[in-house]
Amino acid sequence: MTYSFRTAGNHADNYPSSVMKAAFPQVRHLLTDTELICFIVPGAFSAAACDALLTPAIKAQLRPAATHYPTYYRNNERCIVDSEALARQLFTVIEPMLPSELPAEQPAGQPWRLKQLNSRLRFCRYAAGQYFHRHLDGMYHESETVQSRLTFMVYLNDAADFSGGRTLFYRNKDDAQVWAEYHPAKGDLIVFDHRLWHEGEQLEAGEKYVLRSDILYETTPQPVPQSVPFAPGHLGYIWQVLPFGEELLSAGRDKLIKVWGRTGELRQHLAGHQNSILSLCQLNAQTLLSGSRDMTVKVWGRDAQGFTLRRSLDLHPATILSLHRLTDQLFVSTAADGLIKISDELGQVHHSLAGHTDWVWQAVPVAAELLVSSSEDGTLRLWNWRRNTGLQCIGHGLPPAHALLFDPEQRRLLAGNYAGQIQIWQADASLQHWEVLTTLAAHHGIVRTLTLLPDGRLVSGGEDSKVKVWDLATGTCQQEMAHNDFVQSTAWLRESRQLISASYDGRLSIWALPA
């Protein structure tokens, strides 16, 4: 993919290469007790080069990243500049300091050869109070064979300009101890493996500026045998899988919905969205809904020939986070605008529920007219959607629940949260009183998905790349499977009695579960 240079007026394409010259300084490794790469190159860029990069035009175009990230995660500002030319210039400076080859991840795989700097350059600014909480940097999939493996960051201003704002590394998502710390200095380059948990520490005072990109590596394509089900998956993150009749649908960052047959053969791919597809929902036998970061909900019709796009709905001026069916005609959408809307497939909004103060991750039906929603604001709320009213706040001050599921038989709400827990809430028969029954310490990192099996067992997936099967009667984990990256979605295939899980690594896996 070639990005054009989109941000006007900052002259980034025209930096004189003289100011970009590297001094080939000493590499300093931050982590010694790991194979993973993490090094600093002090003064890799001169002060003049930093000033040439951080132009007033760039500064003027910095915006909160809030449309793409929940505030819990990061609240700094950024400006994206797509420039092949500048990426090439920067790459010339850093190339001699980079590993020319990285080992294959799989025993049978091919090594990765150094290719280029991702031309999507992100200028970031932290003001006092701003932070980028502990996270893993996402892998950028340019193609099947070109992917980012290392993070690139240059610190653009003087340490004297701010306090706090260190870059901190951790052994995992919830280790209390800092593994390594780095105090920013102007012109320093940091390069580290995407698999390292790290944080941009909260700034106490002043302003901190960095330039972020990723280092791309290329591998030799390996033929995928026809017999491998659901291969090759998606390019980049898969956000959701959904059984639809006899088929399975998957959707992801590559803006595609893929339609797979029973044996995992690709039947169709549906293009139309302009950005990542985060949610899928079956409205009725002939209708599929998809919600995206492009702020649209698309309605797809299913007939004997397959799926076709019927229409595109503008329901929220924000990323659509979840879609759930209420009736054959009505569905509920939640979004980054903090609203819950009940609409039909023609795009008529019947109800709009306001009350949350941040992103609404999920809203699931719990009875004919009742919904429970979970939000980034740390609350769980109960609503009567037909009457447009919030009935109560079931819980507040909670770690936000990314995954939410209601079990009508047991009247239990299962909430998978940011603290890696599955919190099980019991409702009484009136659905007016809710209390926490148990809290399972389920994953390291966010619980991203929950699926209830027909036999009552629960499946969870999380940021520790694990899929876990739970016996809810005893609260014990019976089985554990692993992906190579965050597990984002799981589903049960009723016909074949198989579990399917989908991951940030773009792969779909099928698992047989012993009874």
Ligand X SMILES: O=C(O)CCC(=O)C(=O)O
212 binds ligand X (CB under 6 A): yes
Query: Which of 149, 457 has the CB closer to Fe ion?
Result: 149
Please report whether residue 198 would count as binding ligand X according to CB under 6 A: yes
Closest separation between CB of residue 80 and ligand X, Å? 12
Structure tokens at 304: 């004997």
Note whether 167 binds ligand X by CB under 6 A.
Answer: yes
**Edge-first strand listing for the sheet containing 238-244:** 238-244, 247-252, 257-260, 266-270
Site string for ligand X, 463-502 (x = CB under 6 A): ----------------------------------------
Considering beta carbons, is residue 39 or 132 the nearer one to ligand X?
132
What ranges in 80-206 are assigned the alpha helix state H? 84-94
CA distance 495 to 212: 46
**Mask: binding to Fe ion, 456-475, rule CB under 5 A, as x and -?**
--------------------
| Phi, psi angle pair for 96, to nearest 5° | -65, -20
Work out how close the CB of 372 gets to Fe ion at its nearest, in angstroms, rounded to a whole number.
Answer: 33
Q: Which of 44, 58, 150, 210 binds ligand X (CB under 6 A)?
A: 210
Q: How many residues bind Fe ion (CB under 5 A)?
A: 1
- 167 contact, one of Fe ion, ligand X, none, CB 5-8 Å limit per kind: ligand X
Closest distance to Fe ion from the beta carbon of 46 (Å): 24
Q: Which is nearer to Fe ion, 199 or 345 (CB)?
A: 199
**173 near 133, Cβ under 8 Å?**
no
Minimum distance from residue 167 beta carbon to ligand X (Å) = 3
Between 134 and 466, name the residue whose CB sits nearer to ligand X.
134
Specify the pairing of strand 112-117 against strand 203-218: antiparallel
φ, ψ for residue 86, nearest 5 deg: -70, -40
How would you write 115-137 as a 3-class SS string? EEECCEEEEEEEECCCCEEEECC
Task: Spell out the residues 6+ positions from residue 63 whose beta carbon is closer than 8 angstroms to its own.
Answer: 77, 78, 79
Whole-angstrom distance, CA of residue 261 vs CA of residue 390: 41
427 touches 392 (CB < 8 A): no
Burial class (CB in 10 A: 0-12, 13-18, 19+), 359: buried
212, interface contact from ligand X, Fe ion, none, CB < 5-8 Å by kind: ligand X
Q: How far is the CB of 103 from Fe ion (least distance, A)?
A: 22
Interaction mask 136-155, ligand X, x per CB under 6 A: -x------------------
Q: Minimal distance in Å, beta carbon 161 to ligand X? A: 14
Contact by Cβ (8 Å): 219, 243: no
- Measuring CA to CA, which residue among 505, 451, 68 is closest to residue 276? 68
Contacts with ligand X in 95-124 (CB under 6 A)? 124
Look at residues 271, 267, 311, 269 and name the one whose alpha carbon lies nearest to residue 289: 311
Q: Name which position in 69, 132, 192, 217 contacts ligand X (CB under 6 A).
A: 132
* Candidates 73-81, 129-137, 176-184, 411-419; binding stretch for Fe ion (CB under 5 A): 129-137
Pairwise CA distance, residues 515 & 510, whole Å: 16
Q: At its nearest, how many Å lie between ligand X and the CB of residue 165?
A: 7
From candidates 187, 200, 252, 420, binder to ligand X by CB under 6 A: 200
CA distances from 76 to 46, 59, 62, 132, 152 (A): 25, 13, 9, 7, 18
For 460-498, give the DSSP string. Answer: EEETTSEEEEEETTTTEEEEEEE-SS-EEEEEEETTTTE
Of the candidate spans 85-93, 137-145, 256-264, 300-308, the one that interacts with Fe ion by CB under 5 A turns out to be: 137-145
Q: Which is nearer to ligand X, 31 or 431 (CB)?
A: 31
Residue number with CB closer to Fe ion (137 or 337): 137
Q: Does the protein bind ligand X through residue 505 (CB under 6 A)?
A: no
Query: Residue 145 CB, nearest distance to ligand X (Å)?
Result: 24
Least distance CB 346 / ligand X (angstroms) = 41
Distance separating alpha carbons of residues 393 and 292, to the nearest angstrom: 28
- Distance of closest approach, residue 79 Cβ to ligand X, in angstroms: 13
Among residues 178 and 228, whose Cβ is nearest to Fe ion?
Answer: 178
Q: Which residues contact 116 (CB under 8 A, 6 or more apart)?
A: 87, 88, 91, 215, 216
Rounded distance between C-alpha atoms, residue 93 and residue 513, angstroms: 51
Report how many residues bind ligand X under the rule CB under 6 A. Answer: 8
209: contact with ligand X by CB under 6 A: no
CB of 461 to ligand X, least distance (A): 23
User: In angstroms, what is the minimal distance from the CB of 200 to ligand X?
Assistant: 3
Q: Which is nearer to ligand X, 69 or 385 (CB)?
A: 69
| From 77, 82, 137, 358, residue interacting with Fe ion (rule: CB under 5 A) | 137
For ligand X, the closer CB: 200 or 416? 200
Angstrom distance (rounded) from CA 426 to CA 434: 5
- From 49, 29, 26, select the one nearest 37 (Cα to Cα): 29
Nearer to ligand X, 164 or 475 (CB): 164
Residues that bind ligand X (CB under 6 A): 124, 132, 137, 167, 198, 200, 210, 212
Residues that bind Fe ion (CB under 5 A): 137
